[in-house]
């Protein structure tokens, strides 16, 4: 069975495409079978390619920036995902405002990374319980680099790349494959 992770940010041209494509590359590297990822934006720049600075960062981190097209988050897209990972608490709230039924599978990148790092046996099914036990405060958002210099884009890429290994290990443990 395939496990699908959806990454969400604002415009779907920087943060979420970086996360999507890096997750795919890492899953391949870790030989995680039947893993897929995609991305969307809560205010997407529909039809646009990945931002040029984000593409440079993505490629420098080992991801593929080619053939990317931004799309809008809609509940149907979210319902097709096993796990929805947002770049900020505001994105998580926007997803849940549009699709409240997705609460049990919608988390920020920092939440999932923290929960995954804190338990060697946690699976995706454990995430809602971990959120209740640990709460949601204190987790940092991935800042929006739009309008900032290349160093800001580099910092965003580094933060996303550092968060993904425990998340992919969590996916691997989840037994949904």
Q: What is the pLDDT of residue 138?
A: 56
Q: What is the pLDDT of residue 176?
A: 46
Half-sphere exposure of residue 97: CA atoms within 13 angstroms, side-chain side? 8
* Among 9, 21, 71, 92, the one annotated catalytic: 9
* pLDDT greater than 70 at residue 100: yes
* Among 14, 15, 21, 71, the one annotated catalytic: 15
Q: Which structure tokens are listed for 174?
A: 């989840």
Class of domain 3-172: alpha beta
Three-state DSSP class for residue 148 = coil
Tell me the average pLDDT across 91-96: 98
CA distance readout (Å), 133 to 82, 127, 138 = 21, 10, 14
What global pTM score does this model have? 0.95
How long, in residues, is the chain?
Answer: 177
Q: For residues 157 and 50, is the Cβ–Cβ distance under 8 A?
A: no
Alpha helices in the chain (DSSP H): 15-29, 52-60, 75-79, 89-98, 109-117, 127-134, 150-173
**Catalytic residue check, 9:** yes
**Catalytic residue check, 105:** no
CA distance readout (Å), 127 to 69, 83, 119, 161 = 30, 10, 11, 20
* pLDDT greater than 90 at residue 7: yes
**Mean pLDDT over the full length of the chain:** 94
Tell me the average pLDDT across 88-108: 97
**121 pLDDT band (50/70/90 cuts)?**
confident
Q: What is the pLDDT of residue 66?
A: 98
- Per-residue pLDDT tens digits for 26-55: 999 999 989 999 999 999 999 999 999 999
Strands 83-86 and 3-9: parallel
d(CA 111, CA 130): 9
**177 pLDDT band (50/70/90 cuts)?**
very low
Task: Domain ranges for the chain, please list them.
Answer: 3-172
Q: What is the pLDDT of residue 133?
A: 82
Q: For residues 94 and 42, is the Cβ–Cβ distance under 8 A?
A: yes
């Amino acid at each position: 069975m395939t496990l699908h992770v959806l990454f969400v940010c604002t415009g779907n041209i920087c943060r979420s495409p970086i996360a999507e494509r890096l997750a795919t590359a890492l899953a391949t590297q870790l030989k995680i079978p039947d893993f897929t990822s995609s991305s969307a934006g809560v205010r997407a720049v529909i039809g646009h390619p990945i931002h040029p600075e984000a593409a440079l960062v993505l490629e420098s981190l080992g991801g593929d920036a080619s053939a990317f097209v931004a799309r809008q988050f809609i509940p149907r897209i979210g319902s097709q995902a096993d796990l929805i990972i947002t770049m900020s608490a505001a994105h998580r709230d926007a997803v849940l405002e549009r699709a409240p039924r997705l609460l049990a599978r919608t988390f920020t990148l920092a939440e999932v990374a923290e929960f995954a790092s804190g338990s060697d046996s946690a699976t995706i099914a454990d995430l809602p319980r971990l959120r209740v036990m640990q709460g949601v405060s204190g987790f940092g958002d991935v800042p929006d680099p739009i309008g900032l210099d290349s160093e800001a884009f580099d910092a965003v890429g580094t933060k996303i790349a550092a968060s993904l290994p425990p998340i992919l290990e969590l996916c691997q443990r989840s037994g949904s494959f």
